[in-house]
Amino acid sequence: MGLLDLIRGGKGLRKPSRIRHRGERLAQILEAHRNHFLGKVGGKRADLREADLRLADLRHANLTGAILEGARLEGANLQQAKLTHASMAGAQLHGADLRNTDMTEADLRGADLSEAQASGVEFFRCDLSNADFRRANLRNANFRSANIRGAQFTGADMGVTILRETNLEGVDLSGVDLTTTLLPKGYTPPVAPAATRGPGRS
């Protein structure tokens, strides 16, 4: 059974108490990070660089400002988590459940979000340059003022996705259904190339 089969079946999610990173339980790292966020004594910013968090159950987790560069989060459940200002360059989020996650001003340069469930995600002012959104569900996601230069969107669902006030120069949206996408003022969607006519056709 592959990773996506586990995700779709709702099986295999790992609890933070059962995950270790550099000898410390993830649950303890999250608690220390929460205290850091609240300014409490003993708080410590979460450093989860290159952590193996595949299929981790991180629903509602507060990872504001956490360091997750290069972290492996394939198939993780991050529904309604707080990742504002998080450093996630190069993070692997293939097939992750990010529904209604707040990623305002997060750094996701070069991150892999292919096939992610990212409907309702707040990508406001994120750096998403060269990110991979192929076949991702981006319905109702907010990309206002985000940097998406070089990002890939082939096969993504961008129904009612907000791209207003977003610079689309150099962004390839060909083949994406933009019928209900909220596009920048004056933006003209790319025209799909006409089908090649076969011999003998008029």
Per-residue confidence band for 42, with pLDDT thresholds at 50, 70 and 90: confident
Torsion of CA 23, 26, 31, 37, to 10 degrees: 100
CA dist 146 → 53, 66, 99, 172 (Å): 26, 19, 18, 15
pLDDT tens, position by position, 75-109: 999 999 999 999 999 999 999 999 999 999 999 99
Per-residue pLDDT at 7 exceeds 90: no
pLDDT of residue 6: 52
CA 83 to chain centre: 10
Higher pLDDT, 190 or 199: 190
- Mark residue 153 as left, alpha or beta (left: phi above 0; alpha: psi -120 to 50; beta: remaining): alpha
Per-residue confidence band for 1, with pLDDT thresholds at 50, 70 and 90: very low
pTM value > 0.85: yes
Residue type at 189?
P
How far apart (Å, rounded) are the C-alpha atoms in residues 114 and 132?
A: 6
Name 102's bridge partners: 82, 122
- The half-sphere exposure of 104 on its side-chain side, counting CA atoms within 13 A, is 5
120 with 97: CB under 8 angstroms? no
The domains found in the chain, sorted by start residue, are: 3-38 (no CATH), 48-186 (2.160.20.80)
pLDDT tens, position by position, 49-74: 999 999 999 999 999 999 999 999 99
CA dist 61 → 18, 31, 79, 98, 155 (Å): 16, 10, 9, 12, 29
69 with 89: CB under 8 angstroms? yes
Calculate mean pLDDT across residues 174-200: 77
Number of neighbouring beta carbons within 10 Å of residue 130: 17
Mean pLDDT of the chain: 91
How far apart (Å, rounded) are the C-alpha atoms in residues 97 and 118?
A: 7
Higher pLDDT, 117 or 42: 117
pLDDT of residue 4: 53
User: Which of these, 136, 38, 122, lies nearest to 83 by C-alpha position?
Assistant: 122
pLDDT of residue 202: 45
pLDDT of residue 5: 57
Number of neighbouring beta carbons within 10 Å of residue 196: 6
pLDDT > 70 fraction of the chain, expressed in percent and rounded: 88
Task: Identify the DSSP state of 18.
Answer: G
